[in-house]
Structure 1
Amino acid sequence: MRVSLFVVVESIGTMLLSFAPTVQCHGYLSFPAAVYRDPYTATSFVTTISENIDLCTFGGKKWNDTPALNAAMFASSFRNSSYSSLREMIDPVVPGCGSTRLDVAPVNVTGASEARWQNDEEHRGFVDSHHGPCEIWVDEHRALHNDDCRAAFTSYPAHLPLDYDALCGGECRLTFYWLALHEAAWQVYKVCAPIVNTNNAKLA
């Protein structure tokens, strides 16, 4: 049987594509814009954790419910945990800034009143299925916490209110934390961006 060159080339191309890595389009910090070490994986989570991170707090509970109910279960459990913040739980698991860089020019946030998170592929802020808590810190000040950021911030992009003037004067670091709880393996996101605010009302 004679096989055309076109069929052979097409088959090889299909095989190669099947082995190509895929971008996991979950979302990224668009303002202040984070700079990622590898733009191809910029929207991916950094790692996963599970109830095993603290079995006294999270063990023995149902984590295979709907994403919204998983988020509610996490919020209820977290309030009774020893953690004072999402940052306290995530930092030992993801030290530093995950896949983002700090050795870049700071983003000017003077006059701004929000951070923005978005997924351009699905035209969402937070992906529909990815319910869970998020937190923003500016240096050592917690600027925002919500138990279910997908439910609370539904626009595209997601507009996360921040009072930069109360939190940052001069150069600071903004760090965004997020847990997506749609599966028993919780997806961990940690993103940093250097920022600068020329106002001088930094919280003492």
Structure 2
Amino acid sequence: MAPSVFSSLVVAAVLSSGELLAPTATAHQVVLLPSPTYTTDDKDTKYAPLTFLEGQGYETVEDFNGWRRNNGYKTLRDFMEYTVADGADYYCGFTNVNAAPQPNPDGAMRSTGYTHDGPCEVWLDSTRVLQSDNCHETIIGKTYNLDYSSCKGTCTLRWYWLGVRFLKNAYSWQIYKACIPLSASARRLEVAANKSVVFDPTA
């Protein structure tokens, strides 16, 4: 989906990602529902940003969104589909797209909250079901509505967030992405199983 030729800014960010990863960085955004399956057990790797983009001159959300559109990236997903960090999957970072599918959540998604300015997107396969140029302003709280109706059988939820933080005297854009396999049929089986359970207060 991304342009065939990467911007020199993106290439520079990829090549220098090891230098830009701060060892003391902590997670600012983690998907909780549906929950990703990770390809690593290392907590610092799982929960920290995949990389930091610094020195590109992005100081506001408008700066980045304008740059993205001017450079041919129609969506945030387009911009983020590259190997962000060493050892990370091209599409999914450190999450396992081949993990066992989870039941579709009941119309909701939950995360630790969009604590910094920055755009985000959620896709179900090729359908974009959530988009905002600044999720910090438009998504309040940790649980928010999401329409899973386009996931008829199995599908993959793809989540992207680019959050800005003023860190060590520089504006640091933090890259997050995750892939979570889902199954509509697993959701139906879960609902049926719950309906079959009858509570007996005398038992």
- The answer on 1:170 being equivalent to 2:153 is yes
- Of the three residues 121, 129, 134, the one matched with 1:143 is 129
1:87 paired with 2:77, answer yes
Letter in 1 for 2:31: L
Aligned residues: 154
Instruction: Give per-residue Cα distances to partners, 1:119-161, cap 9 Å, x unaligned.
Output: xxxxxx122xx21000111111111110011111121x242x3
TM-score (norm 2): 0.67
- How much is the aligned-residue C-alpha RMSD, in angstroms? 2.4
Bigger mean CA deviation after superposition, 140-149 or 33-42: 33-42
TM-score norm. by structure 1 comes to 0.66
Please identify runs of 4+ aligned residues in structure 1 that moved more than 6 A. Answer: none
Matched, 1:49 2:53: yes
User: In the aligned structure 2, how far is the partner of 1:187 from the partner of 1:25?
Assistant: 10
Inter-partner Cα distance in structure 1 for 2:69 and 2:121: 15
Alignment equivalent of 1:116, drawn from 102, 106, 110: 110
- Separation of aligned partners in 2, 1:51 and 1:173: 33
| 1:100 paired to 2:87 | no
1:22 positional shift = 5.2
* Structure index of larger Rg: 1
Q: Is there any run of 5+ residues in structure 1 with no aligned partner, and where?
A: 1-20, 53-61, 65-69, 119-124
**In structure 1, what is the Cα distance between the partners aligned to 2:95 and 2:67?**
30
Summarize the Cα distance change of 1:72–1:23 in structure 2 as closer, same or farther, 3 Å threshold.
closer
SS of corresponding position for 2:35: coil
The equivalent residue for 2:7 is none
Matched residue of 1:74: which SS?
A: helix
Task: Tell me what 1:126 maps to.
Answer: 114
Structure 2 residues not aligned, in runs of 5+:
1-22, 85-89, 189-203
Partner of 1:10: none
Sequence identity (%): 31
Give 1:48 shift.
2.4
Asked if structure 2 preserves the Cα contact closer than 8 Å seen for 1:23 and 1:43, the reply is no
